[in-house]
Amino acid sequence: MSETKKTYEELLAEIDELKKKCDELTEENKGLKITIDNLRDGYEVSSFFFDCRSLQSTADKFFYDNIVDCANDLIYFNNEKDSIRCAKDYREYCILSGNDDDEDIYDGEDNLII
């Protein structure tokens, strides 16, 4: 037997190692697909929101339980809190979320002043 030939056991060990690596890559691929789907979903939700400027309409369309959950996702998708300030129902979000530090951006008649 020459030195370049591998034994049956060595070949089986290599096959097992390759199967293990394949399983690891398959799992990594699943995670990447989920990440891509989440980015795609975030883009779709954000695009709809920026077209209509309504947290309630966006929440209804994408089956959120409430506008606070919808707004929190939009903040996450866009990586900044200010991304939802353009919402027609931003004041309602502030009230429902208990975020009253944003009340100074409204005049006495609930009109945005920013």
Residuewise pLDDT in 10s, the chain (114 residues): 456 788 999 999 999 999 999 999 999 999 888 888 777 788 999 999 999 999 999 999 999 999 999 999 999 999 888 889 999 999 999 999 987 655 555 555 555 544
Domain contains 51: yes
Domain contains 50: yes
Give the phi and the psi of residue 112 in degrees, each rounded to 5.
-60, 135
Domain contains 110: no
CB 56 within 8 A of CB 67: yes
| Whole-number Å distance between alpha carbons of 73 and 29 | 24
**E strand or H helix that includes residue 79:** none
Q: Which domain holds residue 14?
A: 8-105
Domain contains 111: no
Structure tokens given for 84: 């939802």
- In this prediction the pTM is 0.62
Structure tokens given for 56: 């309630």
Domain contains 114: no
Domain contains 1: no
| Whole-number Å distance between alpha carbons of 45 and 77 | 9
Number of domains in the chain: 1
Domain contains 2: no
